Amino acid sequence: MRWVTDASYAAALFLPDETSPTARRFFAGLKPSDEVWVPALWWYEITNVLIIAERRKRVTPAEVAKIISLYTQLNLETDTLSGTKYSGRLYEIAKTGHLTAYDAAYLELAMRKDAALATLDKKLAKAANLSGVNLFG
Give the burial string for 105-125 (b: 16+ CB within 10 Å, else e). Answer: bbbbbbbeeebbbbbbbeebb
In angstroms, the CA 104 to CA 49 distance is 19
Residue 75 has pLDDT above 90, yes or no: no
pTM (predicted TM-score): 0.93
Ramachandran assignment for 98, one of left (phi > 0), alpha (psi -120 to 50 degrees), beta (any other): left
In-domain check, residue 62? yes
Residue 14: give the domain boundaries.
2-131
Instruction: List, for residues 92-115, the tens digit of each pLDDT value.
Output: 999 999 999 999 999 999 999 999
DSSP state of 14: H
Q: In the beta sheet, which residues pair with residue 116?
A: 3
Q: What is the CATH number of the domain that holds 68?
A: 3.40.50.1010
How many domains in the chain? 1
Instruction: List, for residues 124-133, the tens digit of each pLDDT value.
Output: 999 999 999 9
CA distances from 3 to 17, 22, 25, 57, 88 (A): 25, 15, 14, 32, 23
Q: What percent of the chain is modeled with pLDDT above 70?
A: 100
